[in-house]
Amino acid sequence: MFFALQQVLEPYGVWYPVVLGPVAIAAARSTRRGLWGPVTGGRDVRFLPTGYHVTLPTPPHP
């Protein structure tokens, strides 16, 4: 989306960041989970998951 907008605004020189900034802020504020949220439809889909789950071993019972 941002790349396409950059290509459309390219003839206006350095003004595209002035337009792109408010568009990015509006997109971040209007969608709760960012741009990926509407794409996944609320399902737990992870693109390049980087989170790690650490489980500690349970201590032995005396």
As a whole number of angstroms, the distance between CA 19 and CA 31 comes to 19
pTM of the model: 0.47
What does pLDDT average to over the chain?
A: 77
- Does residue 10 sit within a domain? yes
Q: Please tell me the predicted confidence (pLDDT) of residue 47.
A: 67
- Does residue 18 sit within a domain? yes
Query: What integer is the mean pLDDT of 34-46?
Result: 70
As a whole number of angstroms, the distance between CA 15 and CA 5 comes to 12
- Does residue 44 sit within a domain? no
First to last CA, the chain: 60
Encode pLDDT of 6-35 as tens digits: 888 888 888 888 888 888 888 778 776 666
- Does residue 50 sit within a domain? no
Q: How would residue 48 be classed by pLDDT, with cut points 50, 70 and 90?
A: low
What residue numbers bound the domain in which 11 lies?
A: 2-31
